[in-house]
């Protein structure tokens, strides 16, 4: 049986793509940024929603995620995605649950995923999110 | 009839250029690349060529049919009319400007174009994030005037191929500014970075393909400013590296909105700008920019009139 040349080309392209991906990893491209202080969270929050200015912030241990609340009571969850940060302003459909030493927040947004935050005052945030 | 696809020959150069930029990134800007992001971008590029081969036939059929109704005839040996080539290239670039502008201002078109913008990075691999679903929009209609003018579909396809190749190299942060005269006429890395930005100032600007003059002519030009660092991507960043989601998320969202909305608003969810909603609960690039302008002038009334004062706004 003869393999159609287009299929060979397609297969070759997939192999080349994987090789570039593995090379990028081997070269150590892409750092692991951390939310180290409130200014960093403020910056990230303003990138998620222009003009969002937090009045209360909780940074997860390790700096991979954070919660921010503005004066209107809007709550934003921020998570690391690759070497960038992404976030969502939570709506009423967001789900929150307290686990051993952290809270898990599911903004109920397709493909965004659940964010786990190990923070000092999980109760405050869980309450606030449940009251949205 | 010449059977020639310029993009196919360009692929090895694309790969080499990406590798060179990866080395640059390693030495100078480690955040310019993220391996997973690059993987998704490259897969989008490959998938786009496959989708083009599978679904491009319909457009070709329409073009060949429309060619029968051409107003001017370049003759049986149309490819030997040398001046038709540069003319076709410039007019095709004008066509590109309007297709691209529609791609940002009409949600149906945006559903197909968004995956070019959904990376939070801006590097040469981003250039390869081409659409899979362009055949399912009315983008082909924009080429009809050229065909009716008498340009053969193959000539337009070749011009479009070179247009796409040109746009590859401008997807980089490694080049700051080109010489002044070049920046004035041509689309450049600096101009196109603005196009990929989500900063309110930069939203829906610089639609150009090859010549930036179209944006200047039609009022959509915005220069990159050194005091406003760019953040790349889309208003609602995906937060996921799922390839299939990055291809279809806007289609899924749009169809969902059309199904759920009242009858008199259904068409608006198809044809109005991305982010439009019948109850005003969402944000469009216009509302985001308006709020940003209002905030800026309330916090610093001088900033709008005095660009020097604006430099210190962040402090
Ligand atoms: Zn675009
Ligand atoms: Zn682009």
Mean pLDDT of chain B: 93
* Residue from A13, A24, A65, A105 whose CB has the most chain B CBs within 10 Å, to mutate: A24
**Distance, CA of A78 to CA of A103 (rounded, Å):** 13
The total domain count for chain B is: 1
- The pLDDT, as a whole number, for residue B6 is 83
Closest to B50 (Cβ–Cβ): which among A10, A47, A81?
A10
**Distance, CA of A107 to CA of B220 (rounded, Å):** 35
Give the count of beta carbons closer than 10 Å to the beta carbon of residue B196: 21
Contacts of B239 in chain A (CB under 8 A): 79, 81, 86, 88, 109, 111-113
**Distance, CA of B54 to CA of A33 (rounded, Å):** 41
What letter does residue B216 receive in the DSSP assignment? Answer: H
Single pTM value for the model: 0.93
**Distance, CA of B293 to CA of B298 (rounded, Å):** 9
Model confidence over A61-104: pLDDT tens digits?
999 999 999 999 999 999 999 999 999 999 999 999 998 889 99
**Distance, CA of B118 to CA of B300 (rounded, Å):** 32
Kindly determine whether residue B239 and residue A81, on different chains, have CB atoms separated by under 8 Å: yes
Model confidence over B229-264: pLDDT tens digits?
999 999 999 999 999 999 999 999 999 999 999 999
Confidence of residue B3 (pLDDT cuts 50, 70, 90): low
**Distance, CA of B108 to CA of B136 (rounded, Å):** 9
Calculate how close chain A gets to B127, using CA atoms only, in Å: 15
* Domain ranges (residues) in chain A: 1-30, 38-130
Domain that holds residue B16: 1-315
Mean pLDDT of B191-208: 98
Rg over CA atoms, chain A: 20
**Distance, CA of A62 to CA of A32 (rounded, Å):** 11
Mean pLDDT of B287-295: 95
Confidence of residue A6 (pLDDT cuts 50, 70, 90): confident
């Amino acid at each position: 049986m003869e393999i159609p040349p287009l299929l060979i080309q397609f297969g070759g392209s997939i192999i080349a793509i994987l090789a570039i991906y593995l090379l990028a990893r081997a070269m150590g491209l892409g750092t692991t940024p951390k939310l180290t202080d409130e200014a960093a969270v403020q910056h990230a929050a303003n990138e998620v929603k222009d003009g969002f200015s937090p009045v209360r912030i909780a940074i997860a241990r390790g700096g991979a995620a954070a919660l921010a609340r503005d004066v209107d009571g809007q709550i934003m969850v921020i998570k690391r995605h690759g070497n960038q940060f992404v976030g969502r302003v939570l709506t009423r459909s967001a789900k929150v649950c307290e686990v051993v030493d952290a809270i898990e927040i599911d903004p109920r947004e397709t493909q965004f995923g659940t964010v786990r935050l190990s923070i000092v005052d999980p109760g405050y945030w869980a309450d606030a999110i449940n009251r949205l | 009839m010449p059977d020639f696809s310029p993009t196919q020959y360009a692929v090895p150069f694309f790969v080499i250029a990406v590798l060179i930029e990866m080395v640059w990134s390693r030495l100078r800007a480690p955040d310019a690349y993220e391996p997973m992001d690059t993987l998704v971008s490259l897969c989008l590029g490959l998938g786009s060529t496959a989708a083009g081969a599978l679904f491009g036939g319909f457009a070709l059929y329409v073009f060949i049919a429309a060619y029968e109704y051409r107003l001017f005839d370049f003759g049986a040996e149309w490819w030997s009319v040398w001046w038709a080539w540069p003319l076709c290239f410039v007019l095709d670039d004008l066509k590109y400007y309007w297709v691209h502008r529609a791609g940002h201002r009409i949600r149906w078109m945006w559903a197909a174009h968004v995956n070019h913008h959904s990376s939070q990075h801006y590097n040469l691999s981003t250039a390869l994030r081409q659409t899979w679903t362009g055949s399912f929009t009315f983008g082909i209609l924009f080429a009809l005037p050229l065909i009716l003018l008498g340009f053969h579909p193959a000539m337009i396809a070749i011009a479009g191929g070179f247009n796409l190749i040109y746009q590859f190299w401008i997807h980089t942060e490694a080049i700051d500014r080109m010489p002044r005269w070049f920046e004035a006429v041509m689309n450049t890395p600096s101009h196109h970075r603005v196009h990929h930005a989500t900063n309110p100032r930069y939203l829906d600007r610089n639609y150009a393909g090859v010549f930036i003059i179209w944006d200047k002519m039609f009022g959509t030009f915005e220069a990159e400013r050194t005091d406003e660092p760019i953040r790349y991507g889309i208003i609602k960043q995906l937060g996921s590296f799922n390839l299939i989601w990055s291809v279809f998320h806007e289609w899924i969202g749009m169809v969902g909105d059309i199904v759920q909305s009242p009858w008199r608003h259904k068409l608006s969810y198809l044809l109005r700008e991305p982010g439009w909603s019948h109850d005003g609960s969402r944000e469009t690039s216009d509302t985001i920019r308006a709020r940003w302008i209002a905030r800026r002038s309330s916090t610093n009334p001088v900033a709008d009139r005095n660009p020097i004062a604006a430099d210190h706004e962040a402090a």
